[in-house]
Structure 1
């Protein structure tokens, strides 16, 4: 008998049998199921299994937290269940069958930005470090100079690091169009080329358009097209990327394979570049400006505190639905138009608040060794910007910690916005996020961060002893 044979048989029965499994895969700690009928899975009984540390459903997938031994368990389970090994991409495709049209749209948006997140985080950290050495005038004999003014080394490092920052943020359209072609299964190098045409040095830099006395143009005799670049622009790149992808997919339907290598790339790329600069670029720019202006005005108006409190309160539920991925595009648009974003600091504070609620649960349940195998790693990852283990593994399970975190996030977000806290860029969405905050706003961000830590911890402990907490413990049999 294998190490996990009995547990695998038990799980197979509780999940609804092999016939109820459409797709199964795993990640670092979790089994991910796409079930034909989620109602057949007995989540309560599954959570009572010794090897299981929690369950949750997200993005159409029923996920079971196993822990570090998940790969061994997965191998044994698939043999007993008689299901084939499946890739994560196949699992995502199958999971979309369980999503409504809005959820599918958000899932597609997430798949575009997810491959870009590592670069965006690196860029945020680099801009944060440049922030420290170039913007904080607290050094020197009189404490009124930045490091770049005192040292040629730091001055050179500041200029050198912008090489990476510029590549990530100014040339972001290249990454976006590439990611779309990757997602759509079309020719990725064509996506890279199209992205490069949006940020070519030939064009007037997007950051210089507002102050330009004269905009250069291509003169075709019968028409003129402005030579405007789309550095850091999100929506023009998304629109252009989908046009290219769908053109290529359409062309491959009727162009014979013998000549497809020549004609498909040509008749896909050339029209896509023309459409991008003549039609989609200006339209996307206008839409992006409209969205970022509405958000910025909402945050800086007399009702900014209300906007902040609502966003801070609702951001965590947005993560559950997947709608939070839309904030990436808005943040990047705000950075492009206003040289910073007030939205991202609230996201970092929300993540910190969720982690803090888990810290309270760790303290309240310090004798529950099984739960601490989930809660302690979840709190750490949450403070480093990854919230799903904390929210799905602990906070949503009990309910009241999730509410406490939402309230703490709302208060912290309100303080952040009321104080005008602005980030240079997207960064690590947790405690290290202060590196992305503009130097002038560090103090108030630390105040907001303290609120995001203290309020959820205190509220979680209070609610645990309230009627809400007592009912929760009764429901969970604790």
Structure 2
């Protein structure tokens, strides 16, 4: 650890000293600070420290990229500074003082969806694999699918629907659990609430449109009836119901005596929420989600859908910076629920590829810079696999022109994708493996991928060779400053 002592002291001085640190912790590769005055942090001085591979500000936290030995660095920093670390949750809480209301909402939304992402990604891969098995005619099978010619693969295809259905049809269970987890209320109540939205007693939401009036089962309360409709794969109704449960539980814990709270708080929070969820929130939330997906689908399928694709493709990377990109998860899932596929997800995968390719352009131009290579190569690999934050914050925003080059490449790739009606089964793996999630228009997706690779690399080279935007500093970029 001794080799970090000098760098740790230098970092402490460069961030404004001990008095400027409100909270500190670390994750797998980064030191994470909440600073009392972020403007006192000297970014240029910090990035010149030998152990530091980059800096960025996110969710009200000033983050310093150290690498895999961040644990050793953190211990040395604690020794020279006298500062004791806190939990990541405490740092997140402290960081909120540096966030505006919109960013707080987006941060909360991110914390709700983040625990669900691993399952959603696996589900997307499964659906993509099933697509290859059952929907792609194979030339070596005389135009038949694998499922049509193999009993074994037909069985595999049928079996894989079990986890896929659990992930996507039962998604409301995950959402209601995640909301209660995030808000600090009773998580098992959230799980039970989610189960009541997708119970086998209820009519499957996917079949409601095909059921004639009078054939929908209902609960008969004498003076009114309530349709027994499920909300499989519905995001907005699940979120609204979960937040109602959280509000009720927190209020009841304040007004009910502690001696009987274990009985009456769960009872009076859960039962009314379930009723309101089916009588009011579910129908309203479902309608809101339908309108939202209609609006996005109108943009994706209208006469000028290529314009929508160009704009969304170009602006997705800035959405990642602000945290607004988490809203697209809900829109994707709503499109899938309403239309059986999503045009949005292919553009997200293409944006990942474009930002990764911009980093590749920088790697080519700056070959020989070992310190930058330590950041840029892993960042490019990560982005090509669908996680762009290291590329965005470590390289592209730092130099600005790669960021713009990636946006332009993504815009043209998105335009091609939408114009050619490329759709995905569902949310899947982003970046290069994104083709596994494609439902239709696979050839055009590969063409758009080529654009997302070639255009950013070419533009990065052109921009740097001609000194276009190369003199800009990170602080001149307006979007990242939203976090300050």
TM-score w.r.t. the length of structure 1 is: 0.97
Shift of 1:473: 9.3
Instruction: Out of 280-289 and 40-49, give the one that drifted further.
Output: 40-49
Shift of 1:407: 0.1
Shift of 1:2: 2.7
1:234 matched residue in structure 2: 235
2:18 matched residue in structure 1: 18
How many angstroms apart in 2 are the aligned matches of 1:470 and 1:60? 27
Residues 114-159 of structure 1 show CA distances to partners (whole Å, capped at 9, x for unaligned) of: 0000000000000000000010111564x21111111111111111
How many angstroms apart in 1 are the aligned matches of 2:475 and 2:217? 68
2:343 matched residue in structure 1: 342
Shift of 1:470: 4.6
Shift of 1:474: 13
1:41 matched residue in structure 2: 41
How many angstroms apart in 1 are the aligned matches of 2:140 and 2:432? 28
1:130 is paired with a residue whose SS is helix
Residues 81-129 of structure 1 show CA distances to partners (whole Å, capped at 9, x for unaligned) of: 2222211111111111111111111111111100000000000000000
2:23 is paired with a residue whose SS is strand
Residues 4-23 of structure 1 show CA distances to partners (whole Å, capped at 9, x for unaligned) of: 12111111111111111111
| TM alignment of 1:67-466, pairs within 5 A | 67-138=67-138, 141=141, 143-213=142-212, 214-438=215-439, 440-466=440-466
How many angstroms apart in 2 are the aligned matches of 1:6 and 1:50? 10
1:426 is paired with a residue whose SS is coil
1:316–1:350 contact (8 Å) kept in structure 2: yes
How many angstroms apart in 2 are the aligned matches of 1:218 and 1:471? 68
Shift of 1:53: 1.2
1:210 is paired with a residue whose SS is helix
Residues 401-452 of structure 1 show CA distances to partners (whole Å, capped at 9, x for unaligned) of: 00000000000000000000000010111100110001x3111100000100
RMSD: 1.5
2:471 is paired with a residue whose SS is helix
2:480 matched residue in structure 1: none
2:64 aligned with 1:53:
no
2:4–2:51 contact (8 Å) kept in structure 1: no
Uncovered stretches (5+) of structure 1, i.e. residues with no partner: none
Shift of 1:216: 1.5
1:134–1:148 contact (8 Å) kept in structure 2: yes
How many angstroms apart in 1 are the aligned matches of 2:470 and 2:298? 43
2:202 is paired with a residue whose SS is coil
2:401–2:470 contact (8 Å) kept in structure 1: no
Shift of 1:76: 1.2
2:219–2:225 contact (8 Å) kept in structure 1: yes
1:55 is paired with a residue whose SS is strand
1:292–1:334 contact (8 Å) kept in structure 2: yes
Number of matched pairs: 474
How many angstroms apart in 2 are the aligned matches of 1:349 and 1:362? 20
Residues 207-251 of structure 1 show CA distances to partners (whole Å, capped at 9, x for unaligned) of: 000001222211101111111100000000000000111111111
Shift of 1:472: 4.7
1:347–1:429 contact (8 Å) kept in structure 2: yes
Change in 2 beyond 3 A, CA 1:358/1:98:
same
Shift of 1:261: 1.2
Instruction: Out of 245-254 and 203-212, give the one that drifted further.
Output: 245-254
Residues 448-467 of structure 1 show CA distances to partners (whole Å, capped at 9, x for unaligned) of: 00100000000000001123
Shift of 1:468: 2.2
Shift of 1:469: 4.8
Change in 2 beyond 3 A, CA 1:284/1:13:
same
How many angstroms apart in 2 are the aligned matches of 1:18 and 1:363? 39
2:234 is paired with a residue whose SS is coil
1:140–1:150 contact (8 Å) kept in structure 2: no
1:139–1:146 contact (8 Å) kept in structure 2: no
TM-score w.r.t. the length of structure 2 is: 0.96
Instruction: Out of 348-357 and 245-254, give the one that drifted further.
Output: 245-254
How many angstroms apart in 1 are the aligned matches of 2:466 and 2:58? 29
Instruction: Out of 70-79 and 455-464, give the one that drifted further.
Output: 70-79
Shift of 1:475: 11
How many angstroms apart in 2 are the aligned matches of 1:470 and 1:402? 11
Change in 2 beyond 3 A, CA 1:201/1:463:
same
List structure 1 runs of 4+ shifted beyond 2 angstroms: 467-476
2:481 matched residue in structure 1: none
Uncovered stretches (5+) of structure 2, i.e. residues with no partner: 477-484
